[in-house]
Chain A
């Protein structure tokens, strides 16, 4: 008897849901011309799809080299964003740092695929002899679990996505003719009449609580994979 397969399917499905949610948020951001937060959504999309393939072998696709490239680029991007934040706002630990760590964790999971003792992961890599130091895995996992808990506990909802979709939500919910400003685009935008019918649905799905939940699910799934690598 081994780990029940439903557990891996459960995590796999959860990862796909998070990925799909990332796609939805991307669509929202494009619909409202608000580029803020797209990097997080793209990261969640790739991470969700990649991790679903790690949990359920049949859902794996594309060579690991592709994924390594994707997560390397994402990591570099978030490092740059972190540096930008420090340069702009002074010395602090920027929130983008957690995305750097998540990208790094994904990268490490491809560089050091799990030992054959577990049947959870199915990463196809030529570097199967390398083993990630479990101390690094434990540290990353604990940080991700901490991020999950502190995100859940935060009274500021949507902060896991930097609150970046708040502008789009407000635009969708704004009364006709009212002006809403903000966002990187900083465009004075008026809510379009045909969007009003969709606004409540949009508001519900793109709610900051769901944004945070997707981050929490991502952190737990990734942390679990790291624990499996120990």
Chain B
């Protein structure tokens, strides 16, 4: 696996000339940093989604209504805290939503700067847990509706897991990026727990009921673009007829993925690819991109975060680690004194 971005380098004035001969400037990709920035990008997306017009409104489709709806079905203790929070938002929708958006902007920008990286990641962990409880109704865990098809056990929890695994540290990205900070043993344990939980949640509660899975998709296809609504129809029909089998297959896939890190790297790679494909399909065909395309969502749901999680566990050998970017093939001095950049989205750290 190679990094998604590379860098451009402005040269000292003494080195500026019209000469465009290739010049080697070894710069190593920092995969952990790249993944941190991808996580920050998702946070920035969330922050902007938070300031959509409907989020400042009081109605049932507004922010407070959205929060209030997650209380239903939860134990009274949990539901009470959610409705309490929703009532505060109801009375001050503009103020609270602005604050909520600001926190997410702070997290995104905080991760972008190395000096504020640690506080930002720390804040993201606290914020994620708070949103999981108050904003996602504990992800439906207490209701028995936390199927991974729908984003269970709560998409926002994956932000916290990623923040822990991408906590900055020096060291090698081998054997995989997630192990760089917490160590191989702990990283594998976290992987086992996460995928084990996903496997279990695929089978418990309404997770294996065809009707519930059908309703899960049917409940969010309003307002989707035509092509996605068509996919939803296929998903609904599939779940209605094969819902239990689909849940079982998902549980098996998650279970195998959970233990894969304890088997061979080759098997881990196979299961990571499988997991990425499965959750990419789920993200599109079941989660509907988190409902973003219908204009009524504040996050992309769990699909992309699970994919990001899987990517940071991709086994890397010394031979596969990213090479210096400053090779003659991809780095040359332009005549304005800046090395030609070979990344579309920026100038990676």
Q: How close is A86's CB to chain B, nearest CB, in angstroms?
A: 9
Please tell me if the beta carbons of B340 and A230 are within 8 angstroms of each other in the complex.
Answer: no
Please tell me if the beta carbons of B112 and A152 are within 8 angstroms of each other in the complex.
Answer: yes
Chain B 7-28 against A: per-residue CB contact (8 Å), 1 yes, 0 no?
A: 1111001001110100000000
Interface size class of B (residues with CB under 8 A): 35 or more
Please tell me if the beta carbons of A1 and B13 are within 8 angstroms of each other in the complex.
Answer: no
Question: Does chain A have a CB within 8 A of B40?
Answer: yes
Using A3-B56, A186-B18 as known contacts, say yes or no to A145 and B48 having CB atoms under 8 A apart: yes
A-B contact count (CB 8 A): 198
Question: Does chain A have a CB within 8 A of B332?
Answer: yes
Partner of A148, one of B5, B7, B8, B44: B44
Partner of A149, one of B13, B44, B114: B44
Q: In the complex, what residues of B have CB within 8 A of residue A151's CB?
A: 346-347
Which residue of the partner chain A has the closest CB to B34?
A: A150
Q: Could you tell me the distance between the alpha carbons of A154 and B112 in the complex, rounded to whole angstroms?
A: 9
Question: Does chain A have a CB within 8 A of B318?
Answer: no
Q: Which listed segment binds A: B65-73, B288-296, B305-313? A: B288-296
Which residue of the partner chain A has the closest CB to B328?
A: A90
Please tell me if the beta carbons of B338 and A1 are within 8 angstroms of each other in the complex.
Answer: no
Q: B24-74: which residues lie under 8 A (CB-CB) from chain A?
A: 33, 37-38, 40-41, 44-45, 48-49, 51-53, 56-58
Which residue of the partner chain B has the closest CB to A4?
A: B94
Q: Name which of A97, A135, A180 has the most chain B CB atoms within 10 A of its CB.
A: A135
A interface size (C-beta, 8 A): 63
Which residue of the partner chain B has the closest CB to A229?
A: B295
Please tell me if the beta carbons of B5 and A150 are within 8 angstroms of each other in the complex.
Answer: yes
Please tell me if the beta carbons of B344 and A93 are within 8 angstroms of each other in the complex.
Answer: yes
Q: Could you tell me the distance between the alpha carbons of A147 and B348 in the complex, rounded to whole angstroms?
A: 9
Partner of A183, one of B40, B337, B343: B337
Q: B329-349: which residues lie under 8 A (CB-CB) from chain A?
A: 329-330, 332, 334-338, 340-349
Which residue of the partner chain A has the closest CB to B338?
A: A163
Using A95-B343, A147-B345 as known contacts, say yes or no to A152 and B113 having CB atoms under 8 A apart: yes
Q: In the complex, what residues of A have CB within 8 A of residue B332's CB?
A: 88-90
Please tell me if the beta carbons of A160 and B347 are within 8 angstroms of each other in the complex.
Answer: yes
Question: Does chain B have a CB within 8 A of A43?
Answer: no
Q: In the complex, what residues of A have CB within 8 A of residue B44's CB?
A: 145, 148-149, 220
Chain B residues in the interface with A (C-beta under 8 A) = 5, 7-10, 13, 16-18, 20, 33, 37-38, 40-41, 44-45, 48-49, 51-53, 56-58, 93-94, 98, 108-109, 111-114, 225, 227-228, 289, 292-295, 329-330, 332, 334-338, 340-349
* A-B residue pairs in contact (CB < 8 Å), sample of 23: A3-B52, A7-B51, A85-B334, A85-B340, A95-B340, A95-B341, A119-B53, A134-B293, A146-B37, A150-B345, A151-B347, A153-B40, A153-B348, A154-B349, A159-B341, A160-B346, A163-B337, A166-B10, A180-B13, A182-B16, A183-B337, A208-B10, A220-B44
Question: What are the 4 closest A-B residue pairs judged by CB atoms, nearest first?
Answer: A150-B346, A92-B342, A154-B347, A182-B16
